[in-house]
Structure 1
Amino acid sequence: MTSDATRPFGRLLTAMITPFTDDGALDVDGAQTLATYLVDEQRCDGLVLNGTTGESPTTTDAEKETLVRAVAEAVGDRATVVAGAGSYDTAHSLELIAAAERAGAHGLLLVTPYYSRPTQDMLVRHFNTLADAAELPIMLYDIPPRSGRELERDTVVTLAKHPKIVAVKDATQRIYDAQRKRVASGLAYYNGVDDINLAAYASGQVGAVSVIAHLAGKRLAEMFDAVDAGDIVRARSISDGLLPVVWALQDSTQGLCAVKSALNARGLPGGPPRPPLYAADVDTSALIESLLKEAGIA
């Protein structure tokens, strides 16, 4: 796990899919295999479980706890395990936090409550209630395209006063606004949108929670290494080379469905998604593979 206070959860984290068996059951062994692969072969410092990429809307609370426990056992102290524990129900989120802590998570990802669109003062009360109950450090998840409500700058500054709230996963896709929030709050910012990884990191964000890291983690780590070394030309070249990967895994179809298609094609644990999401069709899978081949990913 990371010991860098400026990067409380590491630098590169994968928003990990949840592997299922062919009949749709939780694939615990597959999850451990995939987690080990991401940490040991794709240079990921951390794994975010039970997020939307992990199909949290269609996994049970018991499955979420089982998944965290299994992955934490598989990676040990080699990576940070961050458990998604947010929902649009404060009481339910408190239950998810307790379960994640029982299961051995190292941190919590708490998404802005979705659909009900609380006001900013309500968001402060919600997150402070969760943080008061938590024993683990917290990464807030700001994703207005899905939640319907952004964490405004004053709200982030207020929440940053809580000692358990240490970071933000930013999926607003607005680097300037994220930079202003980061500077004003002092929180560690992680990019949550793969098409702007380089720009966000160069702007002062400390890392990324990435979907494409399932297959391109090593490349992303090398890109961040290049920025840290001051070699922007090399970093830009790596970023340019990842464009087909972003298109394959983010734009060809629904993101987690694309990742599962790519993992399955390589004999890695993925399995089918759960409805209302469905496996990529033959033509889409072929497109994904052609784009990954273009990027040099075997």
Structure 2
Amino acid sequence: MTHDPRPFGRLLTAMVTPFAPDGSLDLEGAARLAAYLVDEQRNDALVISGTTGESPTTTDAEKDVLLRTVIEAVGDRARVLAGVGTNNTAHTIELAQAAEKAGAHGLLVVTPYYSKPPQAGVERHFRAVADATDLPIMVYDIPHRAGTAIATETMCRLAGHERIVAVKDAKGDLVASSQVLARTGLAYYSGDDAATLPLLSIGGVGLVGTSTHFTGRLAKDMIEAWERGDTAAALALHRAALPLFTGIFRTQGVMLVKAGLNALGRPAGVVRSPLVDATDEELNQLRQDAAAAGIVL
């Protein structure tokens, strides 16, 4: 099935969820952070309540008010996707329908994690969610977290659903991704910042990033350079950003993103348990990685 080649633009950031010092939701901070990511870091869209948004530790009510706040903050300047994936199909459908009511422009749905369903269960899960709303879906394939990879044949079958239009690809298997790209119209977005340029080279269209809280402009320039055929410039930008593309994952990305944002005086705050705030040593290393990429934290 033929889809929009870039249904969510080129650059998306999986936004952290700002919390107050007491761990409560910081909605005013979320609005300011969303505006910064769109207006200063050049994001075409934001993903709210993904793993980087600490979705396992936010309530359904918090997810709803956060989504509404971000949609209002960015207006028509960017699209907003809601992370609704869980390992319970019924709960995922509830979150998807709530996101649609809140005005989301799309859904990010991760492979059901921990339960390790067979491929038949994986396919049924995604189809059930896709049938539950009118929103376009980005499937999130991240086997090192979910415990289950989406098989090539499964992905190709899912591509036949009119609302399954994109993939956030964190599988780390360019051959498998290339096979799906050759057989479907799915839009492939890198789910690993450092793998963006390699994915573009086999037909990918963009990035759903984590380091892009800081590297957004670099990443956008890299993607645009590739698209206009300036492969040398794209490679130079990839290499320039690489220290922070990779450094943001020295520990859990959200911990380092929040540490970096806090250092810049931008909204972020604490992380919720079971995560812990980054140490001074971790922040210092992040600053070194950022400096190597030409970014001051």
TM > 0.5 between the two? yes
Matched with 1:289 is 287
**CA shift for structure 1 position 185:** 2.3
2:247 is equivalent to residue 270 of structure 1? no
Whole-Å Cα distance in 1 between the matches of residues 139 and 98 of structure 2?
18
Confirm or deny: 8 A CA contact 2:193 2:246 kept in the other structure: no
SS in 1 for 2:161: coil
* Structure 1 letter corresponding to 2:295: I
Confirm or deny: 8 A CA contact 2:81 2:108 kept in the other structure: yes
Which of these residues, 254, 257, 264, is aligned with residue 256 of structure 1? 254
Matched with 1:41 is 40
Kindly provide the CA deviation profile for residues 20-66 of structure 1, in whole angstroms up to 9, marking residues without a partner as x. 11111111011110100000111100001111010000000000011
**CA shift for structure 1 position 225:** 1.3
SS in 1 for 2:64: helix
**CA shift for structure 1 position 104:** 1.2
SS in 1 for 2:63: helix
**CA shift for structure 1 position 234:** 1.1
Matched with 1:96 is 95
After superposing on structure 2, the runs of 4+ consecutive aligned residues of structure 1 that deviate more than 3 Å are: none
2:184 is equivalent to residue 185 of structure 1? yes
**CA shift for structure 1 position 294:** 2.4
Matched with 1:111 is 110
Matched with 2:148 is 149
**CA shift for structure 1 position 247:** 3.4
Whole-Å Cα distance in 1 between the matches of residues 34 and 10 of structure 2?
16
Whole-Å Cα distance in 2 between the matches of residues 46 and 52 of structure 1?
16
Identity, in percent, stands at: 50
Confirm or deny: 8 A CA contact 2:87 2:115 kept in the other structure: yes
Whole-Å Cα distance in 2 between the matches of residues 122 and 185 of structure 1?
21
Structure 1: stretches of 5+ with no match in the other structure: none
**CA shift for structure 1 position 186:** 1.8
Whole-Å Cα distance in 2 between the matches of residues 214 and 103 of structure 1?
24
Matched with 1:204 is 203
Matched with 2:10 is 11
**CA shift for structure 1 position 203:** 1.6
Structure 2: stretches of 5+ with no match in the other structure: none
Matched with 2:26 is 27
What's the Cα RMSD here?
1.1
**CA shift for structure 1 position 110:** 0.7
* Structure 1 letter corresponding to 2:292: E
TM-score normalised by L of structure 1: 0.96
**CA shift for structure 1 position 175:** 1.3
**CA shift for structure 1 position 230:** 1.2
Q: How does 1:50-199 map to 2 (within 5 A)?
A: 50-199=49-198
Whole-Å Cα distance in 2 between the matches of residues 156 and 248 of structure 1?
30
Whole-Å Cα distance in 2 between the matches of residues 246 and 158 of structure 1?
32
Instruction: Report how many aligned residue pairs link the two structures.
Output: 294
**CA shift for structure 1 position 128:** 1.1
**CA shift for structure 1 position 174:** 1.2
Q: How does 1:239-254 map to 2 (within 5 A)?
A: 239-251=238-250, 253-254=251-252
TM-score normalised by L of structure 2: 0.97
Whole-Å Cα distance in 2 between the matches of residues 83 and 16 of structure 1?
11
Kindly provide the CA deviation profile for residues 137-170 of structure 1, in whole angstroms up to 9, marking residues without a partner as x. 1111111101111111111111111111111111
**CA shift for structure 1 position 123:** 1.4
